[in-house]
Each structure stands twice: as structure tokens, then as C-alpha cells.
């Protein structure tokens, strides 16, 4: 059997999607260790994993991209903070390797220092990406702009030009810090940010059809393994149980949720309370790290820091969210239509995929108002049949077993790993 070390950036939205696949690896007889944020360690242990905290020095560098005044500044600041954690991540990973002596490393995509150190160390390793694949390909719109696919000569020209623009923008934000990390580990500099995603032995993407566009030229090291949805327990309520207030008779529910990694999106929660106060629905708002921010009140609205989303989605007619990959995949997988209001990060791309597969609608954050959001929710609810069809496709695109099989491809030949099952490598035209 194989010993796996999974190293996550300290964010719930990156740790929680790892848990189903890591549990699947354990169920196959492998030894699995997880490094994550200190406040998530007990949650991971309660799920059944051996977990320890990442170094406190990593937590001292907060991602504060929400303070930026423009999309470009937000991009630069976000990478500045993530890459600023790099030296501490590299040393933390090396300490964990010395303690555990793993055979395989699974490194979260946002842990740049750990990824660079993993490449230098030379153990078999994978980058784990809990979002959409940001690599160019035939017919794939340029990443970061939230654009729909466009065919014909005009589409090919647009994509070629804007992929170069995207590569330049991301390169300006990423490459100075990334190449400093690489130099510290004795690795050559990269000339493109895209090259960073070609450094691991495997790139395990926690997504799939219909949120991923069909690719005819998928790089051979990429594995799409489908959505990896997981809800942490909320004591004393088991994760599979619904709170008493949720199952009371009444109007159907709309779930409104903010980012688990704070980004200043409480305006979405406030607009949703106003938009839906007179609609024939009940509203539950989960604020996560925005908890405690001032919001309007409404007789049909309930404000919580966190509620397991699964039981709410079982009873919801729509989800209003920031377009984060976690909640979008949960909603799409459950066949619940989405109103995505992207604020930044990967959210414009995720929101566009929601609209393209028919699972919901997009409302740009700059156009957010109670009236527009109310209209968007009504429009999304009318798309429920298409959302349910998208859910069937997403549920068929993979799951924890596919994650485990992809990770097992990296197991040493003498480790006694069971034969890997077929892994869905992406939709093909």
C-alpha cells in the first residue's frame, strides 16, 4: 500500500473537496495524511482522516484581494499574498515529509511554495485543482474573462488573441513571485504561468462535464475526476440530518451563500434579503467569514454563519451565490438552479459555465440590485428542468473513486496498490 501526503492551502473551499477522495484512498487500504488550516484539523479528523495543521507562519499572510479597487489589482494582490506564503509552505512541506516519509504528494493548487518544493524534492506528485482547468485548448475561451465559446474564424481569432492577453496578465501577477520560489529551490525560471500547471506528474481536476468544456487536445497528465462534494458536520446535528427549522411546513427555500474565504461579498446577502422579502419563498443566508456583517431583516429570511448545504439543497428551488466552485458543484449536482453573482477569483469562469450548461443565470456584481436579483431568481427557477439535466451529467462525471484512481497512478510499482480503475479524462468532441 501507498502513503499519501495531501497538503492544502488553509481554506475550507480547498480542503473540503479533498476529503471524499482522501477517504476513498483510505478505504482502498492506503495510508493518508492531511495538512490543512488549524481550524479545520478537527473537522478533518472527525471525518476519519489523520490531519495536522500547517505552520502558523502561513496563516499570518492573509489573502486580501477584496481590498483592491479593480479586477486587475485584485488579481495581482491575490497572487502576491498566495505566493508570499510560499517560503513557509516549502519548509512546512519538507518537515511533514521528514515526519511521514510519504510515497506520493498531493498538493493544492493554491499552495505554490509546496508545489515548487514538491517538484524539487522529486517524489511522485500531483497538483489538485478544486476549480476549472485554466489551460488553453481548441475551442476553449480564454480563462478569466467569463466568455462563452465562440465558433468559426472569429472565435479562433478572439481566443488566440485573448489567451495571449490572459497569459500576459497572469504572468505579470504570478511569475515574479513564482520564479523567486523556484530559484530558492534550484529550479529554472518559467516564462509562462501556464507552464506551472505542467510541472506535476498529474493535474487532478475536481470537476467535469457539463462545467468543463469539451476538449479534443487534453494534456496527457490531466485527470478530470468529477465533483467532490462534502459537507462538514455541525454538532450536535449529524451532517445527514436537517435542522428542525428547515423541515417545518412552509414555502420552498432559496439558499443564499457567501464565499467561505472572505472576499467582501456581503452585499450579495443584503441584496438577496431585500429581493426576496415579498417572494413566495423562505430564505436561508449562510455568511461564512462575512458573519456578523450588518444585513437587513425580513420575515422570511434566516441568517446563519454556516449550515450544511446538502439538506438545504434537498429542499431548495434556487441557489444565489458568488459563483464559487464548491457551492456551484453542489447545486448543479443536486439539480438546483443557480444565480451566480461573481466578484472575482475564478468566479466569472464558473458563473459562465453555469449559464452555458443551462443550470442557471449570471448577474454581474457591478449590476447587483434587489430588483435585478429578484428577476434573476425567477428566471433561474424557470430553468429547473435544464438544471436537473445538468445535474445528471455532473453526477456521472466522476466522484471519490475517480479521485482515488487518479492518485493511485502515482503509486510506486512496488507499493502494492490495487489496479487503478478507468479515470474519466474529460469530455471529448
pLDDT tens digits along 178-214:
999 999 999 999 999 999 999 999 999 999 999 999 9
Spatial distance between the Cα atoms of 102 and 32, rounded to a whole number of angstroms: 9
- The alpha carbon of 40 is separated from its chain's Cα centroid by a whole number of angstroms, namely 16
Query: Are 403 and 106 spatial neighbours (Cβ–Cβ below 8 Å)?
Result: no
H helix or E strand, kind and range, residue 205: strand 202-205
Nearest to 259 by CA among 32, 11, 76: 11
- Cell numbers found for residue 336: 438546483
> Alpha-carbon distance 55 to 92, whole Å?
6
Q: What is the DSSP letter of 234?
A: B
Question: What is the per-residue pLDDT for 290?
Answer: 58
Residue 173's nearest CA partner among 66, 70, 83 is: 83
Distance from C-alpha of 279 to C-alpha of 300, rounded to nearest angstrom? 9
CA distance 333 to 226: 10
Residue 287: pLDDT band (50, 70, 90) is: confident
* Interval 25-60: pLDDT, tens: 999 999 999 999 999 999 999 999 999 999 999 988
According to the model, what pLDDT value does residue 76 have? 77
Please give the domain boundaries of the chain with CATH numbers for all domains: 3-227+397-408 (3.40.50.2000), 244-395 (3.40.50.2000)
Nearest CA among 129, 136, 130, 102 for reference residue 117 = 102
Query: What pLDDT, on the 0 to 100 scale, is given for residue 426?
Result: 46
Strands 301-304 and 360-362: unpaired
Torsion over CA: 108, 112, 113, 116 (sign): positive
pLDDT in tens, 343-399: 887 899 999 999 999 999 999 999 999 999 999 999 999 999 999 999 999 999 999
Average pLDDT, the chain: 90
Q: Are 313 and 292 in contact (CB under 8 A)?
A: no
**Cα separation of 12 and 40, whole Å?**
7
Is residue 242 within 8 A of residue 311, CB to CB? The reply is: yes
- Residue 292 confidence (pLDDT) above 80: no
Q: Are 14 and 110 in contact (CB under 8 A)?
A: yes
Residue 416 reports pLDDT greater than 90: no
Query: Residue 235 above 70 pLDDT?
Result: no
% of the chain with per-residue pLDDT over 90: 76
Q: What confidence score (pLDDT) does residue 429 get?
A: 32
In this structure, the dihedral spanned by the alpha carbons of residues 191, 142, 266 and 232, taken in order and rounded to 10 degrees, is: -80
Rounded to 10 degrees, what is the CA torsion of 257, 260, 264, 265? Answer: -20
What is the mean pLDDT of the segment spanning 113-136? Answer: 97
Q: Who contacts 307 (Cβ-Cβ below 8 Å, separation ≥6)?
A: 234, 243, 246, 284, 286
Amino acid at each position: 500500500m501507498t502513503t499519501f501526503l495531501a497538503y492544502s492551502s488553509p481554506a475550507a473551499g480547498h480542503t473540503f473537496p479533498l476529503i471524499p477522495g482522501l477517504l476513498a484512498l483510505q478505504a482502498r487500504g492506503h495510508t493518508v495524511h492531511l495538512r490543512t488550516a488549524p481550524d479545520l484539523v478537527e473537522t478533518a479528523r472527525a471525518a476519519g482522516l489523520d490531519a495536522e495543521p500547517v505552520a502558523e507562519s502561513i496563516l499570518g499572510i492573509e489573502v486580501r484581494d477584496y481590498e483592491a479597487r479593480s479586477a486587475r489589482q485584485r488579481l495581482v494582490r491575490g497572487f502576491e499574498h498566495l505566493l508570499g506564503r510560499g517560503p513557509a509552505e516549502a519548509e512546512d512541506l519538507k518537515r511533514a515529509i521528514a515526519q511521514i516519509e510519504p510515497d506520493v504528494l498531493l498538493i493544492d493548487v493554491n499552495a505554490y511554495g509546496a508545489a515548487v518544493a514538491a517538484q524539487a524534492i522529486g517524489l511522485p506528485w500531483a497538483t489538485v485543482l478544486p476549480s476549472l482547468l485554466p489551460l488553453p485548448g481548441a475551442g476553449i475561451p480564454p480563462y478569466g474573462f467569463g466568455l462563452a465559446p465562440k465558433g468559426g474564424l472569429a472565435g479562433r481569432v478572439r481566443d488566440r488573441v485573448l489567451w495571449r492577453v490572459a497569459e500576459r496578465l497572469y504572468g505579470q501577477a504570478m511569475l515574479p513571485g513564482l520564479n523567486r520560489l523556484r530559484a530558492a529551490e534550484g529550479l529554472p525560471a518559467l516564462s509562462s504561468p501556464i507552464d506551472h500547471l505542467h510541472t506535476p506528474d498529474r493535474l487532478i481536476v475536481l470537476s467535469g462535464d457539463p462545467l468543463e468544456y469539451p476538449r479534443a487536445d487534453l494534456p496527457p497528465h490531466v485527470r478530470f475526476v468529477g465533483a467532490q462534494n462534502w459537507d462538514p458536520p455541525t454538532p450536535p446535528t449529524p451532517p445527514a440530518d436537517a435542522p428542525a427549522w428547515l423541515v417545518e411546513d412552509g414555502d420552498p427555500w432559496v439558499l443564499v451563500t457567501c464565499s467561505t474565504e472572505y472576499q467582501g461579498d456581503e452585499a450579495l446577502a443584503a441584496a438577496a434579503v431585500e429581493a426576496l422579502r415579498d417572494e413566495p419563498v423562505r430564505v436561508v443566508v449562510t455568511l461564512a467569514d462575512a458573519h456578523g456583517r450588518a444585513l437587513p431583516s425580513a420575515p422570511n429570511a434566516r441568517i446563519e454563519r454556516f449550515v450544511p448545504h446538502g439538506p438545504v439543497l434537498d429542499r431548495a428551488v434556487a441557489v444565489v451565490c458568488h459563483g464559487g466552485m464548491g457551492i456551484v458543484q453542489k447545486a448543479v449536482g443536486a439539480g438546483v438552479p443557480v444565480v451566480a453573482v461573481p466578484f472575482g477569483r475564478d468566479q466569472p469562469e464558473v458563473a459562465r459555465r453555469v449559464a452555458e450548461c443551462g443550470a442557471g443565470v449570471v448577474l454581474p456584481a457591478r449590476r447587483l440590485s434587489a430588483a435585478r436579483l429578484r428577476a434573476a431568481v425567477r428566471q433561474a427557477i424557470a430553468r429547473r428542468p435544464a438544471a436537473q439535466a445538468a445535474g445528471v451529467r455532473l453526477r456521472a462525471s466522476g466522484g471519490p473513486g475517480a479521485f482515488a484512481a487518479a492518485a493511485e497512478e502515482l503509486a510506486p510499482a512496488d507499493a502494492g496498490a490495487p489496479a487503478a480503475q478507468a479515470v474519466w479524462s474529460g469530455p471529448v468532441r
